[in-house]
């Protein structure tokens, strides 16, 4: 028996980085998803295959995993998720996993959270353990925490439950907003989430009184954005996205090239900002004007920048069992 598990990518509309220090953020699931196909094995073997990452890795059991290989193949979220799921149910039963994703990996779209939550759900589900969304989301968070050292619950919560959420530390709530069209641009990323979170931490350690003010301003933007998103006030959303972007630049997570690109896009009348940890990777563009949207897409195509046109989505974790 095979199962298919899928989780949505996550766009951070407002508040990334500040959320790590206990301030509010708004993140939204998108209708582009990560898929995992899994089947239980009779042995203790762990087999992981990903066409998009070009890898096929097999270990005799979780105790013989070579973590250097796992890190070098960018499979640490999957293996850490399997290990945590196994410990959670106190089992060593094996699993075969195939990962499929059209989303750029480690680029700011919450793919590490989606992969972590999907892997944990796949393990529990294909070995017939009960699936409690709250527990799955928590284990997904622990996976990110163990791999990255620091993380908020934002991405793992959104990818588990879908929709838009307002989050602050351990508490979050779903917010009802109209569906929003989003253009995602992607520039090759040079740094990991861990690098960028660490960079902001160092800045905060060096200039605590200044950086706390920046976080507080981001927090104020998030709370105002909540009102604007609920009322579908696109002019206000655009303003606030652009303000949030400038504060992310103050936090030093945006390369010179990325800042210039976003400055140019902003002149077309859109809201645009980095989404996620930064250090290049993905940025989001929002406009409710179809003509402007066309101009933006043409501009990005001319610049040879990869784009994903997507929408916000209410669909979270999905599991389907089937025979293959």
Query: Which residues bind to ligand MEV, rule: CB under 6 A?
Result: 12, 16-17, 19-20, 110, 151-152, 154-155, 193, 197, 276-277
Measured from the CB atom, the residue of 155 and 249 that comes closer to ligand MEV is: 155
Min separation Cβ 20 and ligand MEV, Å:
5
Q: Do the Cβ atoms of 105 and 111 come closer than 8 Å?
A: yes
Gap between the Cα atoms of 286 and 182, Å rounded: 6
Helix (H) or strand (E) holding 185: strand 181-187
Gap between the Cα atoms of 314 and 292, Å rounded: 26
SS3 label, residue 240: helix
Gap between the Cα atoms of 306 and 242, Å rounded: 21
155 a catalytic residue: yes
Could you tell me how many residues make up the chain? 324
Measured from the CB atom, the residue of 50 and 193 that comes closer to ligand MEV is: 193
Catalytic residue among 31, 42, 102, 155: 155
Measured from the CB atom, the residue of 24 and 266 that comes closer to ligand MEV is: 24
Min separation Cβ 269 and ligand MEV, Å:
27
Work out whether strand 306-311 and strand 181-187 pair parallel, antiparallel, or are unpaired: antiparallel
Cα–Cα nearest to 196, from 106, 65, 113: 106
Min separation Cβ 61 and ligand MEV, Å:
30
Which residue minimizes CB distance to ligand MEV?
152
* Phi, psi (rounded to 5 degrees) for 137: -65, -40
Measured from the CB atom, the residue of 46 and 114 that comes closer to ligand MEV is: 114
In 231-255, which residue ranges form alpha helices assigned H by DSSP? 234-250
Min separation Cβ 125 and ligand MEV, Å:
25
Gap between the Cα atoms of 20 and 157, Å rounded: 14
In our burial notation (b when 16+ CB lie closer than 10 A, e otherwise), range 72-99 reads ebebbbbbbbbbbbbebeeeebbbbbbb
Measured from the CB atom, the residue of 50 and 148 that comes closer to ligand MEV is: 148
Gap between the Cα atoms of 314 and 174, Å rounded: 10
Min separation Cβ 121 and ligand MEV, Å:
20
Active site residues: 155
């Amino acid at each position: 028996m095979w199962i298919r598990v899928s989780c949505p990518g996550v766009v951070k509309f407002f508040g990334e980085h500040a959320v790590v220090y206990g301030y509010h953020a708004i993140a939204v699931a998108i209708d582009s998803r990560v898929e995992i196909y899994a089947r239980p094995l009779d042995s203790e073997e762990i087999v992981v295959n990903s066409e998009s990452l070009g890898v096929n890795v097999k270990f005799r059991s979780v105790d013989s995993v070579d973590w250097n290989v796992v890190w070098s193949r960018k499979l640490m979220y999957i293996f850490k998720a399997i290990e945590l799921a196994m410990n959670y149910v106190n089992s060593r039963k094996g699993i075969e996993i195939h990962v499929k994703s059209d989303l750029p990996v480690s680029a700011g779209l919450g793919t590490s959270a989606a992969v972590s939550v999907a892997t944990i759900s796949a393990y529990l589900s294909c070995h017939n353990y009960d699936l409690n969304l709250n527990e799955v989301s928590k284990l997904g968070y622990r996976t990110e925490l163990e791999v990255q050292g620091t993380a908020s619950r934002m991405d793992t919560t959104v990818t588990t439950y879908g929709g838009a959420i307002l989050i602050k530390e351990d508490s979050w709530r779903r917010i009802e907003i109209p569906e929003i069209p989003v253009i995602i641009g992607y520039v090759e990323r040079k740094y990991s989430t861990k690098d960028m979170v660490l960079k902001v931490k160092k800045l905060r350690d060096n200039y605590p009184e200044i950086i706390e003010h920046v976080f507080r301003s981001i927090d104020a933007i998030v709370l105002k954005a909540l009102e604007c998103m609920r009322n579908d006030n696109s002019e206000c959303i655009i303003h606030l996205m652009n303000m949030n972007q400038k504060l992310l630049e103050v936090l030093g997570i945006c390369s010179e090239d990325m800042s210039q690109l976003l400055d140019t896009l902003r002149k077309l009348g859109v809201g645009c900002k980095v989404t996620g940890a930064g250090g290049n990777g993905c940025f989001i563009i929002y406009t409710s004007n179809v003509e402007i949207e066309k101009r933006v897409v043409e501009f990005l195509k001319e610049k040879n920048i990869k784009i994903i046109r997507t929408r916000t989505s209410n669909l979270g974790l999905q599991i389907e069992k089937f025979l293959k």
